[in-house]
A and B are shown apart, each in its own frame.
Chain A
Amino acid sequence: MVPFGHVLILAGSLFLLGLFCAVTRRNLIMILLGVEIMLNATAIVFVGGSLLWQQMEGQAVTLFILAIAAAEVSVGLALIVSIYRRTGSVDPHQLVEYE
């Protein structure tokens, strides 16, 4: 069995990568992808924890996370398409300047 510390290190670095992507990228779609990576890191911790404690609950939570991530992307992409149609840009910095 993989030691739980390794799972935490993997998930932690994935989470930080996602956060970095979400904070620094200048494209709304890449920001959304960064958030997805953060959610996947979370799912890894839940599955790892589920293995550690020998319960099914962590895996159940993971299923919910997958479903909600899909809903989140649909809302986010709808907003991005709507703003792209009106301003012709998906760069958050330009949107701020647009004011």
Chain B
Amino acid sequence: MNWALFNTEIFYFCAAVVFLVLAMLRQTGHRTSYHTALFLAALGVVVCIGTLHLDGLLFLESYRIDLFSQVCKALLAMGLLLVVCLCSELEGVAAEWHNEFYMLLFTCTLAMMLLVSSVHMITIYVSLELSSYTLYVMVALRRDKVTGTKAALKYFLVGVVASAVMLFGLALLYAACGATYLTDLVRLLPPLLNRPLVMTALLLTLCGFFFKLAVFPFHFWAPDVYAGAPNQLAAYIATASKVAAIAILMRVTAVAGDATGFLVDSLVVVAIVSMTVGNLVALVQKDLKRLLAYSSIAHAGYVLIGILSLTPAGYSGALFYALALVVMKFTCFLVVIKVADDGRNIDLDQLAGLHRRAPLLAMALMLAVFGLAGIPPTVGFTAKLLVFNAAMQNGYLTLILIAMFNVVISLYYYLLIVKAAYLTEPAAEPAPMPVSGPVKGLVFALVGTMLVTGIAPHYLIELARRATRVLF
């Protein structure tokens, strides 16, 4: 067995062990933990990019390393690095739990990396559960214990029911085909797709991934968890966790092949309801994190449009969309975390006067929000264009029209954010908000990424295309 293929995962495992040891020693200050985490996360990105072109199978062929999994791992590593960058003032978590928080963060990233490489029922289930359990515990680490634990409990209850339903679906699939490898299912499943047992099995299986991605009917945990979790963790759930969910959803739907009427129909329904519910409820939200939660439910709907095309174009569009979501959502959360300097939740009104307090943050927030709304020349527009274009080639005109209506609805609340930051006058004369040098650099890098990948996305589109080609 070739252990070199497993380098990335081993690295993240060791990083988690480092924090386990630090947590048990109980002697490090939170600055030391922060710098260690930053160093390890940055090193992790280097390791991921270094292993980008590995290819092979591990553990009795239940674990596949290919370009698709490695690109997703690189995205996850970058998501982790960005989130760790924001942890310099980890005010939402009590100081004595910082090492535990980082340990769980690295373990969760490890689990998601395992997830995007899984091609066997056991590996999928185990890594999905590992990533969920670490998230439940991290949500409960919030300094305000009652809020945190309640959010964690809600997340946990929805999560375990969803994963039990998914596991029952997998069991029915096994009963129908006698295969546990995705590669075998690809071969055995298409002729059986019209049997009711297999239809139910596939739908139940998808429920677990719907929960991870926060789409209807498993979306209602998202607003409470975003509001109840420490702000940095909410950023992590909104970015890295979504990448993993999108990736595994692509791997699993690719199994069904292309001749699947009912699967596509049910995905269409789920996508439409998620978009509409997310956007309509977001209109009335006052809490900024809740608003972002509903917007991510809506975005999950747009991503599903790409996935339900079941074509290489749709899949590469969805992967590109995942990248765009990481950058845009992360920029929004960066502003939330900097404005809420003591780790509280903030309302839209509290953004008032942001353009005078911190012009750079206000500008970044505006660009990110325009990206989420899909306004050119940001990366959000390119992502939406790719996804809608792929669905258009399959002739889903009505679906695209409904999605376009949704984009128009979403424009309203995205512009409310911009209005709060730029036009609303604060009650008192605003104190200028200091933005440290590294944060400035980070903001410039994010803004640069949003604009450059929006204007010249060819390299990334080509990479997404090559990565998703291995799924077919």
Contact = CB atoms under 8 A, between A and B. Distances in A.
B99 interface: no
A32 B164 CA distance: 11
B164 A38 contact: yes
Contacts of B160: 32, 35, 72, 76
B259 interface: no
A86 B146 CA distance: 7
B146 A98 contact: yes
B167 interface: yes
Contacts of B175: 4, 8, 45, 48-49, 52
B171 interface: yes
B11 interface: no
A57 B150 contact: no
B174 A58 contact: yes
Contacts of B150: 83, 95, 98-99
A71 B140 CA distance: 17
Contacts of A43: 171
A82 B171 CA distance: 33
A80 B180 CA distance: 34
B53 interface: no
B164 A18 contact: yes
Contacts of A42: 164, 167-168, 170-171
B96 to A, nearest CB: 16
Contact of A75 (B137, B172, B180): B137
A35 B445 CA distance: 45
B178 A95 contact: no
A13 to B, nearest CB: 12
Main secondary structure of the interface of B (DSSP, over half): helix
B453 to A, nearest CB: 38
Given A45-B174, A52-B178, A65 B167 contact: yes
Interface residues of A, number: 46
A75 B133 contact: yes
A66 interface: no
Interface string B174-190: 11001010000000000
Main secondary structure of the interface of A (DSSP, over half): helix
Contacts, number: 103
Contacts of B197: 8
A95 to B, nearest CB: 6
Contacts of A11: 171
Interface stretch (B82-90, B118-126, B369-377): B118-126
B161 A19 contact: yes
A49 B111 CA distance: 28
Nearest to B155: A79
A9 interface: no
Given A72-B133, A86-B149, A79 B125 contact: no
Contact of B149 (A15, A53, A82): A82
Contacts of B211: none
Contacts of A10: none
B226 to A, nearest CB: 15
Instruction: Pick the 7 closest A-B CB pairs, nearest first.
Output: A53-B178, A45-B171, A49-B175, A38-B164, A42-B167, A42-B171, A49-B174
12 contacts: A35-B164, A38-B165, A42-B171, A65-B125, A68-B125, A71-B129, A75-B136, A79-B140, A82-B145, A86-B145, A86-B149, A95-B150
Interface of B: 121-122, 125-126, 129, 133, 136-137, 140, 145-146, 149-150, 152-153, 156-157, 160-161, 164-165, 167-168, 170-172, 174-175, 178, 180, 197
Given A71-B129, A79-B156, 19 more contacts: A8-B197, A11-B171, A18-B164, A19-B161, A23-B161, A38-B164, A45-B174, A46-B174, A52-B178, A57-B180, A61-B174, A65-B125, A68-B129, A79-B149, A80-B153, A83-B149, A87-B146, A98-B146, A99-B150
